[in-house]
Amino acid sequence: MIGALAKLIGVDKWLVGVVAALAVAGAIFWAGLTVYNRIYDSGYQAATGKFTVQIAELKTDFANQRAAAAAAANVELERQAAVQNQAKAREAERIAEMQAETESLNQKIEELQREASEDPDAGRIVLGAPSVQRINKVR
């Protein structure tokens, strides 16, 4: 068959044989390359699917962690606000007590000053019994 083809074309048999061998080798190479590419592409597609799922899981985990951290931060802020409100209430109560005490002391001072101004012995050098009693009230 190679000989008939060589006569038909008008070239030597060996040249037609070399071209035929090259054509067969090229066809085998092309078939091997096609098989390799199909295997490579299917492996690539499988890996793409696998890693796409893994990336989606990582994103979901990250979103869940972020949501949990935000919830924990909100809980902590609420706790701090509650503690601060309690402290403010205690402070307001203490301020009210101090104001009541100050008012009581101011009333005592006014009463003692009034008694001192009404004391008939106020101009004397020596203290009388009412003056001593007023001093003792201050202590």
pLDDT of amino acid 124:
72
pLDDT of amino acid 28:
96
Q: If pLDDT is split at 50, 70 and 90, which confidence band does 139 have?
A: low
Contact assessment for residue 12 and residue 26, using Cβ atoms and an 8 Å cutoff: no
Say if residue 24's pLDDT is above 70.
yes
Say if residue 132's pLDDT is above 80.
no
Say if residue 129's pLDDT is above 70.
yes
Compute the average pLDDT of residues 60-87.
97
- CA dist 99 to 35, 102, 108, 112, Å? 94, 5, 14, 20
Beta-carbon contacts of 17 under 8 Å, excluding residues fewer than 6 positions away, are 2
Beta-carbon contacts of 112 under 8 Å, excluding residues fewer than 6 positions away, are 134, 137, 138
Residue 122 phi, psi dihedral angles, 5° rounding: -65, -30
pTM: 0.46
First to last CA, the chain: 139
Q: Is 10 left (phi over 0), alpha (psi -120 to 50) or beta?
A: left
Token pair listed for 48: 């793409």
Q: pLDDT, tens digit, for every residue of 9-20?
A: 777 777 878 888
> Taking all residues of the chain, what is their mean pLDDT, rounded to a whole number?
88
Q: pLDDT, tens digit, for every residue of 30-62?
A: 999 999 989 888 888 888 889 999 999 999 999
